Structure 1
Amino acid sequence: MTLSMHGAAVPPLARSLNNLSGILAKAAAHAEARGIDPAVLLQARLYPDMFPLVRQVQIATDIARRGLARLAGVESTAMDDNEASFEELIGRIKATLASLEGFLPEQIDGSETKPIELTIRSETLHFSGQSFLLFFVLPNVYFHVTTAYDILRHNGVELGKRDFLGEP
């Protein structure tokens, strides 16, 4: 059986983002139950030179949404980076999931050898569609979802591996 580009992209991205949404819901409940100002968690960082939780979620959703749009050869929907609550971050994830689920297999499949150029700061990276998905999009989304999880876990939110991985 062959794994299509759509199959390699949409289900794992959707699963990670759905799990992130659940993690954020647990964080909101944690803050409420303990009388913690949600802004404390939303602006928490693992280290001073790292992005806070809010930005980790924004980046994860941007990379997923923009990555699939690039593979499909369409313009990505823009999102403002103005979320200031757990509810707004969860809404951003829901909007990203709707965008991902809107891509039909025929829009993504066949993009394995599509040349992808991505300029980051002053460097232009060159990928095939498959290497872009496997070595840029998926690892970046996983990195930022993991970092969001770690920030919240470090700040006392009761999370476990199942929260990150989701139900089998």
Structure 2
Amino acid sequence: MSDTSFHSYVRVFEHYLERIAHLIAQAKPEALEGRLTPESFTALENFAIAQGYVLRSLFPLIGREVPELAEASSVADVSARGTFVQTQIAALTPADFAGAETRAVTHVAGEATLTQPACDFFTLYGMPNFFFHLNMGYAILRAQGVAIGKGDFDGFHSYPKGFSFVTNTAETV
């Protein structure tokens, strides 16, 4: 992976940070407090963690400290946090990533301390963790009955209201 290709992922993060904001806007507060299991994070917490992984994934690649994020325990907090993350990554340029592919990144994963080549850190740790928490938040909202679908997740797909691949039906008007 080249330094330039690392920068291309900034657009991926920008897009999916927007999707997080969209998903949150579709849900009532009680759905955002839903959990898959009693000991798991809430949907809102998963979205906030995903936002954090954007900075945790990119800033070590450019040899900078990860910016401090404010705690997020409400929709307003997560919204402000999303804006902060967007601002931080919008300021990055391809030149910031010069030398990224030659770096080794030491980080903590749970209780493990790892040192990985930048490419492995980003593609095998950072991006998967971002999408894990984004997906968990989405799944919880679905499980809570929020009327969202694949198009709400990725911003591209479109299906008729009530469409189901399982039943191969949609609502009729």
TM-score w.r.t. structure 2 length? 0.82
Instruction: Give CA deviations for 1:108-161 in whole Å, capped at 9, x if unaligned.
Output: 243123111112344211211111111111111111001101111111111010
- CA-CA distance at 1:43 after TM superposition: 2.1
Q: For the Cα contact (< 8 Å) 1:6–1:109, is it kept in 2?
A: no
Secondary structure of the equivalent of 1:112? helix
Q: For the Cα contact (< 8 Å) 2:62–2:100, is it kept in 1?
A: yes
Q: State yes or no: 1:69 paired with 2:59.
A: yes
What is residue 164 of structure 2 aligned with on the other side? none
**One-letter code aligned to 2:57:** G
CA distance in 2 between counterparts of 1:106 and 1:62 reads 23
CA distance in 2 between counterparts of 1:4 and 1:110 reads 12
Q: State yes or no: 1:26 paired with 2:16.
A: no
What is residue 31 of structure 2 aligned with on the other side? 41
What is residue 14 of structure 2 aligned with on the other side? 14
Instruction: Give CA deviations for 1:35-55 in whole Å, capped at 9, x if unaligned.
Output: xxx2x2232101112111222
- Point out 4+ residue stretches in structure 1 off by more than 6 angstroms: none
Q: State yes or no: 1:83 paired with 2:73.
A: yes
Secondary structure of the equivalent of 1:82? coil
What is residue 138 of structure 2 aligned with on the other side? 149
CA distance in 2 between counterparts of 1:109 and 1:46 reads 41
CA distance in 1 between counterparts of 2:52 and 2:144 reads 25
What is residue 166 of structure 2 aligned with on the other side? none
Q: Which has the higher contact order (CA 8 A, sep 6+)?
A: 1
CA distance in 2 between counterparts of 1:153 and 1:19 reads 15
Size of the aligned set, in residue pairs, is 155
Bigger mean CA deviation after superposition, 75-84 or 130-139: 75-84
- CA-CA distance at 1:162 after TM superposition: 0.8
TM-score w.r.t. structure 1 length? 0.84
Identity of aligned residues (%): 27
Give the RMSD, CA atoms, in angstroms.
1.8
Task: Please identify which structure carries the higher helix content.
Answer: 1
CA distance in 2 between counterparts of 1:55 and 1:119 reads 19
CA distance in 1 between counterparts of 2:110 and 2:119 reads 23
CA distance in 1 between counterparts of 2:107 and 2:48 reads 19
